[in-house]
């Protein structure tokens, strides 16, 4: 009976679940863009006394191709390929006196606009054409008074490693620093028109309304190591459109995290974080509340060789607890049926592969990887970075679902994935990136859904 009910729920929510998976893949792309944009240089436009104005821009074209995204060769792919055109323009007004320059401090106001055009192709790609923008991507002020630092506005916020909470929000963060110590406070909320992570909420599209408050403490008094802890409170203020009187959807969570990052010697950098989640969720089909009792762990170790190729080895393990009666890990409908909700649902990000890109909910993963510059001896190709990763995925609770709704079998074996990526710095302002992944489903998928899932993309960025 339980399998029949699960099938009915999934059949009714397939379009919503597909959108959720696509959202996680989009988040992965956006995180890679953020890494480039954070390092993007700007040009000095004008200086008057202690004030200076800097401007810059970035344009990116990305083409992605998908095959067997539903793990079924007999069905046409809903989405076969997509093209993205992305434009960002920014400006920074800086105030810095000579004394502040000596202390490496400055105050500034930062504004960045974003405009994205997307074209999708496939048997049923949803929106074939979508123009997202122009919109305000970042708009915040940063003020540095030596021990105190304040940043307020729309920007990228994160706490800890960024798993429990990270992304672009409207908010404020205050940090107080003393030698070896750092105390941080943040308060943030989702941006207007953000999508709700719970796609079963009526009107979830552009309907997110969640607030966050966090406290973090870091200690760096141990050479080459930083120990930290944090607490984060999330409150769900999202509304249903239209109102659903038979079902409540509120999800209020509290996260407690502790971790350490640093290096064992000069060639062994690492990162470790453990997260406990408490709070309340709503049971599927009722208005009853359930206590959330979930947890997650993430550990990564790298080894940097001394070779001229920059050869680097890495290993990672991560897991997020699961609930045995959840068909879908982010939704109320198809979510927890009764008893404690042990599903780890979070509001941040952890990279989990190119092809599958699953959420770290009811999931365990192990990854081994290698990075190197294979053509370091060829001047024209010296900055070509090659990366190779192997993933192995398992369910935490074999009875429950994961973020890929095709994994409906009662088995821990989700599958394996091999990813390859190439990043080529063609110049100080031009970056070419190519990546591909192949996911091989395991016994958690039914026999009709074990075709290999493949994804590949090429991206060209120009900073001006």
DSSP notation for 87-134: EEEEEEEEE--HHHHHTT--EEEEEEEEEEEEEEESSS-S-SEEEEEE
Average pLDDT over residues 444-449: 94
**The predicted structure's pLDDT at residue 427:** 87
Contact between 303 and 312 under an 8 Å Cβ cutoff? The reply is yes
Q: What is the pLDDT of residues 270-318, one digit of tens each?
A: 999 999 999 999 999 888 999 999 999 999 999 999 999 999 999 999 9
Which two structure tokens, joined as six digits, stand for 304?
A: 């940097």
Domains of the chain: 2-361+399-405 (2.40.160)
Average pLDDT over residues 413-422: 98
Contact between 168 and 189 under an 8 Å Cβ cutoff? The reply is no
Contact between 427 and 464 under an 8 Å Cβ cutoff? The reply is no
How deeply is 258 buried, as exposed, middle or buried, from its count of CB atoms within 10 A (0-12, 13-18, 19+)?
Answer: middle
**The predicted structure's pLDDT at residue 23:** 53
Residue 359 pLDDT grade (very low, low, confident, very high; cuts 50, 70, 90): very high
Q: Check residues 39 and 159 and name the one with the higher pLDDT.
A: 159
pLDDT at 58 over 90: yes
**The predicted structure's pLDDT at residue 285:** 87
Q: Check residues 17 and 143 and name the one with the higher pLDDT.
A: 143
**The predicted structure's pLDDT at residue 378:** 95
How deeply is 256 buried, as exposed, middle or buried, from its count of CB atoms within 10 A (0-12, 13-18, 19+)?
Answer: middle
Among the ranges given (34-43, 262-271, 395-404), the one the predictor scored with the smallest mean pLDDT: 34-43
Residue 9 pLDDT grade (very low, low, confident, very high; cuts 50, 70, 90): very low
Q: Burial code of 382-392, b = ≥16 C-beta within 10 A, e = fewer?
A: eebbbbebebb
Among the ranges given (21-25, 133-137, 429-433), the one the predictor scored with the smallest mean pLDDT: 21-25
Measured over the CA atoms of residue 12, residue 13, residue 14 and residue 16, the dihedral's sign is positive
How deeply is 11 buried, as exposed, middle or buried, from its count of CB atoms within 10 A (0-12, 13-18, 19+)?
Answer: exposed
Q: What is the pLDDT of residues 205-236, one digit of tens each?
A: 888 999 999 999 999 999 999 999 999 999 99
**The predicted structure's pLDDT at residue 206:** 86
Share above pLDDT 70 across residues of the chain, in percent, rounded to a whole number: 95
How deeply is 265 buried, as exposed, middle or buried, from its count of CB atoms within 10 A (0-12, 13-18, 19+)?
Answer: exposed
Residue 122 pLDDT grade (very low, low, confident, very high; cuts 50, 70, 90): confident
């Amino acid at each position: 009976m339980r399998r029949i009910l699960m099938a009915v729920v999934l059949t009714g929510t397939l379009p919503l679940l597909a959108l959720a998976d696509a959202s996680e893949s989009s988040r992965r792309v956006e995180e890679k863009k953020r890494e480039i944009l954070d390092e993007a240089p700007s040009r000095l436009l004008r200086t008057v006394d202690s004030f200076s104005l800097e401007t810059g821009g970035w344009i990116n074209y990305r083409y992605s191709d998908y095959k067997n995204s539903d793990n079924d060769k007999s069905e046409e792919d809903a989405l076969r390929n997509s093209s993205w055109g992305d434009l960002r323009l920014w400006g920074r007004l800086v105030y810095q006196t000579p004394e502040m320059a000596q202390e490496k401090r400055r105050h500034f106001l930062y504004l960045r606009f974003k405009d994205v055009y997307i074209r999708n192709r496939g048997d049923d790609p949803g929106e074939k054409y979508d123009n997202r923008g122009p919109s305000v991507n970042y708009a915040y002020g940063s003020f540095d008074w030596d021990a105190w630092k304040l940043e307020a506005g729309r920007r990228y916020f994160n706490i800890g490693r960024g798993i429990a909470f990270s992304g672009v929000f409207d908010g404020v963060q205050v940090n107080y620093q003393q030698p070896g110590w750092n105390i941080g406070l943040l308060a943030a909320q989702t941006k207007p028109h953000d999508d709700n992570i719970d796609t079963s909420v009526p009107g979830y599209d552009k309907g997110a309304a969640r607030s966050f408050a966090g406290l973090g403490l870091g200690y760096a008094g141990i050479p080459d190591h930083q120990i930290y802890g944090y607490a984060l409170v999330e409150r769900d203020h999202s509304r249903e459109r239209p109102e659903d009187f038979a079902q409540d959807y509120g999800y209020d969570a509290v996260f407690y995290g502790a971790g350490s990052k640093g290096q064992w010697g000069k060639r062994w950098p690492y990162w470790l974080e453990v997260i406990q989640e408490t709070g309340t969720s709503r049971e599927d089909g009722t208005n009853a509340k359930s206590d959330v009792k979930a947890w997650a762990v993430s550990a990564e170790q790298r080894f940097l060789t001394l070779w001229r190729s920059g050869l680097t080895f890495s290993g990672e393990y991560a897991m997020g607890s699961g609930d045995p009666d959840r068909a879908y890990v982010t939704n109320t409908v198809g979510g927890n049926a009764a008893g404690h909700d042990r599903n780890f649902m979070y509001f941040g990000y952890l990279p989990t592969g190119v092809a599958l890109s699953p959420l770290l909910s009811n999931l365990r993963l192990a990854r081994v990887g290698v990075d190197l510059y294979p053509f370091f001896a060829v001047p024209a190709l010296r900055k070509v970075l090659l990366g190779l990763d192997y993933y192995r995925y398992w369910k935490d609770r074999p009875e429950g679902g994961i973020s890929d709704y095709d994994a409906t079998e009662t088995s821990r074996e989700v599958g394996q994935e091999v990813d390859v990526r190439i990043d080529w710095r063609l110049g100080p302002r031009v970056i070419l990136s190519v990546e591909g992944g192949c996911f091989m489903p395991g016994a958690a998928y039914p026999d009709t859904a074990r075709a290999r899932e493949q994804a590949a993309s090429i991206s060209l960025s120009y900073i001006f």
